[in-house]
Amino acid sequence: MLKGKHIILGISGGIAAYKSVFLLRLLVKEGAEVQVVITPNGKEFITPVTLSSLSQNPVICDFFTANTGEWHSHVSLGLWADLMVVAPATASTMAKMATGVADNMLVTTYLSAKEHVMAAPAMDLDMWAHPSTQRNIEQLRRDGVEIIMPGSGELASGLSGKGRMAEPEEIVRRIKEYFSRSRDMEGMKVMITAGPTCERMDPVRYIGNYSSGKMGFALAEECAARGAEVILVAGPVSLATENPAIRRVDVESAVEMCEAAEKAFADADVAIFAAAVADYRPAETAETKIKRENADEMTVRMVRNPDIAARCGMAKRAHQTTVGFALETDNERLNAAHKLEKKNLDMVVMNSLRDNGAGFRTDTNRITIFGRGGSVTEYPLKSKREVARDIVDAMLLQRRGADATADLSDN
């Protein structure tokens, strides 16, 4: 399954480095081409001779090879790789990765890596629990690094607790999982709405909301990374897209968003409505700035905006899948299930404003997914990029289920 895949194995200085030998062995056995990059401290734990014998490649540690003066290019290494796995990732290496301290080949290569990066932390339990480590892990997650969580058990210090590097078999399983999902949206067209809408009152004022657009943008990156062609219809946000497979259409109001979304939807296989669309807009937009009157109150008459998700839901054809969001403050489950029906969605992703770390302006989210067939799946608090992965996985599963049902009825 890993045949021909180019993998950089980054090894930093922890006792768990001995497990990396097994990891390397398994990767090579699976047909991967592995380039080991080790930190100077890593070399204290495991000899490069063992690693180069197994990988059939010289091990890179320094920027230069001392006797030949050869320079190791982290840039070409970064371009060569399909994946970088840092295992073990010590507290110190993660801190450097999180802050960009590129004082060794491993971190320098990480900063040049264009493809996906995974890190398998390994350390003693107190180091693991320290707020500084947790902060760095959070930052790495935000930067898109997939963390392969350590297990609990006996540690090299003799203590027992969390911090033990995931077993090599588990890391290989995650690597295979990554490659199997990596292009599983190839050929699909996805339309995503994201961010708030701004409803103009006059040339200087609007009615808006707190949506940052982070969830919708994370979904766009996830779909594009998995091979989909993405049209991202974005309300006013201060975010940038990274993947060139994302075509972005910037809009301001709900009416503009509706027009762009419906146009893109006609040609889409999947639509994800992650935008916080204003339900109403001012009935009149003043041409000139509204002046303060000599009155204590002001009334703005509002009219209904189009419901983009519902309109696309109405127009939906058999091969199209629609996913909506529900941000609720109370009666969460009932409201989410109701939305599924009302907007003819295939899936509703619910987040509750009652949860800490979920909702607007956060980098994390805690979701529950309601599927068409009545399925309800709850997920723990995760970074928005990881949440995006879960949503896409669930959506593809739902599509495969629908395809399977269609296949059955065809027979």
Tell me the catalytic residues: 209
Q: Closest approach of Cβ 362 to ligand CTP, in Å? A: 17
For ligand CTP, the binding residue among 219, 326, 367, 395 (CB under 6 A) is 326
Q: 243 or 329, CB closer to ligand CTP? A: 329
Counting contacts by CB under 6 A, is residue 251 touching ligand CTP? no
Instruction: List, in sequence order, every residue forming a beta bridge with 371; answer none if it has no partner.
Output: 347
* Range 164-203, binding ligand CTP (CB under 6 A): 193
Q: 308 or 388, CB closer to ligand CTP? A: 308
Measured torsion, CA atoms of residues 241, 364, 115, 232, in degrees rounded to the nearest 10: -30
Q: Is the dihedral of CA 46, 49, 52, 57 positive or negative?
A: positive
Distance between CA 147 and CA 215 in Å, rounded? 19
Distance between CA 138 and CA 145 in Å, rounded? 10
Counting contacts by CB under 6 A, is residue 231 touching ligand CTP? no
**Surface-to-core class of residue 20, CB atoms within 10 Å of its CB (0-12 exposed, 13-18 middle, 19+ buried):** buried
Q: Which residues contact 246 (CB under 8 A, 6 or more apart)?
A: 220, 221, 224, 230, 231, 232
Stretch that binds ligand CTP, among 123-131, 154-162, 198-206, 324-332 (CB under 6 A): 324-332
Do residues 57 and 36 lie in contact, with contact meaning Cβ atoms separated by under 8 Å? Answer: yes
Q: 305 or 320, CB closer to ligand CTP? A: 305
Counting contacts by CB under 6 A, is residue 88 touching ligand CTP? no
Q: 173 or 333, CB closer to ligand CTP? A: 333
* DSSP symbols for 135-167: HHHHHHHHTTPEE---EEEE-TTS-EEEEEPPP
Counting contacts by CB under 6 A, is residue 339 touching ligand CTP? yes
Distance between CA 123 and CA 94 in Å, rounded? 11
Q: 129 or 334, CB closer to ligand CTP? A: 334
Q: Closest approach of Cβ 385 to ligand CTP, in Å? A: 19
**ω into residue 88 within 30 of 0, thus cis?**
yes
Counting contacts by CB under 6 A, is residue 392 touching ligand CTP? no
Do residues 139 and 124 lie in contact, with contact meaning Cβ atoms separated by under 8 Å? Answer: no
What x/- string results for residues 49 through 68 when contact with ligand CTP is judged by CB under 6 A? --------------------
Cα 331 vs. chain centroid, distance in angstroms? 28
Record the tokens describing residue 25, joined without a space.
Answer: 């062995």
Q: Closest approach of Cβ 214 to ligand CTP, in Å? A: 14
Counting contacts by CB under 6 A, is residue 137 touching ligand CTP? no
* Range 298-317, binding ligand CTP (CB under 6 A): 305, 307-309
Q: 172 or 308, CB closer to ligand CTP? A: 308
Counting contacts by CB under 6 A, is residue 235 touching ligand CTP? no
Record the tokens describing residue 384, joined without a space.
Answer: 């928005």
**β-strands 146-147, 116-121 pairing:** parallel
Record the tokens describing residue 315, joined without a space.
Answer: 């127009």
Q: Closest approach of Cβ 389 to ligand CTP, in Å? A: 19
Q: 290 or 310, CB closer to ligand CTP? A: 310
Counting contacts by CB under 6 A, is residue 365 touching ligand CTP? no
Q: Closest approach of Cβ 240 to ligand CTP, in Å? A: 21
Contacts with ligand CTP by CB under 6 A: the residue count is: 15
Counting contacts by CB under 6 A, is residue 163 touching ligand CTP? no
Side-chain-side CA neighbours of residue 56 (13 Å): 7
Residue 229: phi and psi, rounded to 5, are: -95, 125
Q: Closest approach of Cβ 332 to ligand CTP, in Å? A: 11
Q: 352 or 362, CB closer to ligand CTP? A: 352
Q: Closest approach of Cβ 400 to ligand CTP, in Å? A: 22
Distance between CA 116 and CA 348 in Å, rounded? 28
Q: Spell out a b/e string for 81-97, using b for 16 or more CB atoms within 10 Å of the CB, else e.
A: bbbbbbbbbbbbbbbbb
Between the CA of residue 320 and those of 284, 304, 402, what are the distances in Å?
Answer: 36, 27, 10
What x/- string results for residues 254 through 283 when contact with ligand CTP is judged by CB under 6 A? x------------------x-x-x-x----
Q: Closest approach of Cβ 124 to ligand CTP, in Å? A: 44
Counting contacts by CB under 6 A, is residue 370 touching ligand CTP? no
Residue type, 265: F
Gyration radius from the chain CA atoms:
25
For ligand CTP, the binding residue among 231, 325, 340, 387 (CB under 6 A) is 325
Footprint on this chain of ligand CTP (rule: CB under 6 A): 193, 254, 273, 275, 277, 279, 305, 307-309, 324-327, 339
